[in-house]
């Protein structure tokens, strides 16, 4: 008898801080959710939308952020990343400057317990200075995202939908990672109302 493997949960951080063609940031996130489903990715859970300060500080207008918990069956991270880039492009995303304002930003931040391409690459990007981070971008997919554990705009919505998710390298839950951030960073992330 063929043994079935359990589908792995995957995490996508979504953000927008530019109105494009009359579409507001929160609407961009809503359209992205729909587009993921159209492209065959099953949404298990989505956080509320949060108003968050631009990152890095002063990099542009404030963002609307969320985290989507997806399930994949046979597709892999490379296929999802390709689909995320297609969805961003359809939303008018232009990749000019690193951390520039954007109509839509979809980041694959974790795929089950995978560490890709390896722990050494993860560690090198995690430990990179902010100055180098601003100038350089990885030439391959790094999972989990090497700085997700430092970003309240990822962790606050993540804790809402998957508080017990464990970081595969740091071996800490989403709740523990969020609690380790400065109180000021956590307090700056506020749910959208109305």
- Enzyme catalytic residues: 93, 102, 105, 107
Q: What is the DSSP annotation of the chain? A: -PPPPPPEEEEEEEEE---BTTB-HHHHHHHHHHHHHHTTPEEEEEPPPEEE--SSTTSSSPEEEEEEEEEESS--HHHHHHHHHHHHHHTT----STT---S-EEEEEEETT--BS-HHHHHHHHT--HHHHHH---SS--BS-TTGGG-HHHHHHHHHH-TT-B-TTT--BHHHHHHTS-HHHHHT-EE---
């Amino acid at each position: 008898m063929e043994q079935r493997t359990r589908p792995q949960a995957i995490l996508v951080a979504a953000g927008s801080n530019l109105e494009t063609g009359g579409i507001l940031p929160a609407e961009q996130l809503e359209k992205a959710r729909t587009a993921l489903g159209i492209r065959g990715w099953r949404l298990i859970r989505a956080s509320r939308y949060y108003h968050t300060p631009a990152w890095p500080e002063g990099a542009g207008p404030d963002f609307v952020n969320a985290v989507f918990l997806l399930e994949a069956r046979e597709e892999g991270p490379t296929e999802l990343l390709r689909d995320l880039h297609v969805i961003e492009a359809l939303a008018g995303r232009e990749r000019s400057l690193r951390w520039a304002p954007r109509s839509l930003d979809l980041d694959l931040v974790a795929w089950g317990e995978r560490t890709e391409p390896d722990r050494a690459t993860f560690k090198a990007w995690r430990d990179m200075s902010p100055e180098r981070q601003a100038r350089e971008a990885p030439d391959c997919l790094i999972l989990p995202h090497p700085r997700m554990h430092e970003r309240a705009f990822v962790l606050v919505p993540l804790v809402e939908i998957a508080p017990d998710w464990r970081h595969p390298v740091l071996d800490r839950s989403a709740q523990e990672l969020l609690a380790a951030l400065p109180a000021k960073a956590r307090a700056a992330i506020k749910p959208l109302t109305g």
